[in-house]
Amino acid sequence: MPDLRQSAARPFSLAGKLAAVTGGGSGIGRSICLRFAAAGAKVHVLDISQQEADATRDLIVSNGGCAAAYACDVAQGRQVDECFARITAGEKLSILVNNAGISHIGTVETTSEEDLDRTYSVNVKGFFNCIRACIPGMKAAGGGVILNLASVAASAGIPDRFAYSVSKGAVIAMTLSVARDYVAHNIRCNCISPARVHTPFVDGYLKKNYPGKEQEMFERLAQSQPLGRMAEPEEVASLALFLCSDEASFLTGVDYPLDGGYFNLRG
């Protein structure tokens, strides 16, 4: 039987593990980076903005954690390969969190080919690029964990989210495929599908599209979920920590809704 005092003192420990988090410069990605660092991981923060990546790294380091920051456009395969080569130089990557993504507002009629390509390049090809860069090292190390951020939009009909929904549906399919192909290599792959999460993106979207009515629209969006509010980034980070920890070692190939009752409790 394990020492109960020791187990209780450090649940979901990531001590000694190396984690890479894309889109780690803000929102959900930043919260995941901070939570992983608090659990003992050395965190590599990837973001298209070097400034934002540096800010997350500095938050971690100033609180006694260990982190490094990189500017990386995940849609560019060469950049991804070069970045992960730097990350894994002399070290083994234990965890990849594919979080970097973009949104798009529009129906199939108002979505241009360029809109679809841009959304696909980040939300689908970006995930592919990072997984492809990490799999060989994880195989050689005897295992690892890959966590993808999908969305309830992948499984529910959400108005004006055609391109985004398509891309997140692909993320779920990718998760299942990777989980199946690499289960024998002790590589686990799961995904989280959040409903609306209160991030800087939401605030920016409301400011741009509903000037002067931001609070009213915020409340309307929050109330669309049965719990009556949006999720906080830290709540997504908590589930991410569990799924990437050894406590979740029997879980792979699963999409976890973090939806405030969106699917099952709507009237």
The tokens describing 41, both together, are 């991981």
- Written as six digits, the tokens of 164 are 């985004």
What distance in Å separates the CA atoms of residue 100 and residue 130, rounded to the nearest whole number? 10
- To the query of whether residue 164 is one of the catalytic residues in this protein, the response is yes
Which residue from 121, 102, 138, 133 is spatially nearest to 244, judged by alpha carbons? Answer: 138
Backbone angles phi and psi of 226, in degrees to 5? -55, -35
Q: Are 154 and 193 in contact (CB under 8 A)?
A: yes
177 CB-near residues (< 8 Å, 6+ apart): none
d(CA 79, CA 185): 26
DSSP 8-class letter at 253: S
Q: One of 70, 164, 182, 262 is an active-site residue; which one?
A: 164
- Show which residues are catalytic: 164
